[in-house]
Structure 1
Amino acid sequence: MGRTPARPGQVALRRGRASLPYHYYLVTTVTDGRRPIFLDTFLGRVVVRALRRMEPLAATKCFVVMPDHLHWLFQLNDATSLSRLIQRLKAGTAREICSTTSHTAPIWQRGFHDHAIRGDEDLRALARYVIANPLRAGLVSRIGDYPLWDAVWVEG
């Protein structure tokens, strides 16, 4: 099967994208065709492990792996390109998923959405919003019951 062609808006997503050392970013990327691949917790954990392996390149503040997309809030290191980081994450997870399962279709949709965090934005509030995704989606009634998230700030 071929990869899904780029949508017209995806080119616009890249316009103006910058990789600023030590800057915080919130990235969202979706599965190919928005298939709920990560309803399978085993496959979602592939993404979690890959995020942990990215630590030398980006300091994770929080993430949530939803059935058909990923939200990741992180601080970029000084020598990493944002596009290269996301490409590495997506290629690595796709390779692992396809080599350990019967998946043959593409795992990720092309492109990603990034939001460079401004100085006046509250990182903790943004992290709470990100990790509450499973609650808003009705997947769980308590975030602690959802297996595919983490945050450096955990409040009781």
Structure 2
Amino acid sequence: MTAYLRRRGPGGTYFFTVKLAEAGSGVLIDHVDLLRRAYAHMAALKPLTCHAMVVLPDHLYALWTLPEEDADYSNRWGALKARFSRDFRVRLGLPPLPRSPSRRRKKDAGIWQRRFWEHAIRDDAEFEAHRRYCWMNPVKHGLVADPADWAFSSIHREIRAGTLPADFVRSPEKGEVGEAA
């Protein structure tokens, strides 16, 4: 049995990569409304601060800070994934997927990869690098030329609020992607 070591600290800030089981699927952006609803439901029950998030066709990235007394990001992701999976199958009118005994024991619907990747943020430079990584990922994947053109990104919240970092270059023509020229 594999032992997964997770670094947890109450009030910590973490960067996450969460993927669908089927690479190349477009389920997340095709049903982003269900993902948003699942996120809102989870966050209402288990608050957090989301600094950046981007949803791509088959995976997403998020940068979260948990409350001071809380280190439980695993149950947050579990709740979000479970809610999305249930609502997705209901929307499509699908019966539950055939699942192995292991998936049934773990209450795994088979839509998401079982695990997610998390990284504990150690300092301000790392925080900023991971926030930029979220925002620039649609450009990296060739989905858009400018991160502001990707509809499924928290960069729009920053643009509306006027809080985009001053040295963040949105258009690759102005210099190296994501950095000041």
- Please classify the TM superposition score into its range, dividing by the shorter chain length: 0.7 to 0.9
CA apart distance, 1:144: 2.0
* Match of residue 4 from structure 1: none
Q: How far apart, CA to CA, are the structure 2 residues paired with 1:144 and 1:102?
A: 34
- Structure 1 stretches of 4+ moved >6 Å: none
* Match of residue 114 from structure 2: 110
CA apart distance, 1:122: 4.0
Which structure has the larger Rg over C-alpha atoms?
2
- 1:79 matches 2:70: yes
* Match of residue 26 from structure 1: 15
Q: Output the TM-score relative to the length of structure 2.
A: 0.69
Q: How far apart, CA to CA, are the structure 2 residues paired with 1:81 and 1:119?
A: 20
SS in 2 for 1:121: helix
Superposed CA RMSD: 2.4
Q: How far apart, CA to CA, are the structure 1 residues paired with 2:27 and 2:131?
A: 20
Structure with greater strand percent: 1
Name the structure, 1 or 2, with higher relative contact order (CA <8 Å, separation 6+). 1
How many pairs does the alignment contain?
Answer: 144
Alignment of structure 1 residues 1-156 onto 2, 5 Å: 11=2, 14-15=4-5, 17-38=6-27, 41-55=29-43, 56-77=46-67, 78-102=69-93, 105=97, 106-151=110-155, 153-154=158-159, 155=164
Q: Output the TM-score relative to the length of structure 1.
A: 0.78
* Match of residue 3 from structure 1: none
| Stretches of structure 2 lacking an aligned partner (at least 5 in a row) | 98-109, 165-169, 171-181
| Contact 2:12-2:71 within 8 A present in 1 as well | no
CA apart distance, 1:99: 1.1
CA apart distance, 1:44: 2.2
Letter in structure 2 aligned against 1:67: P
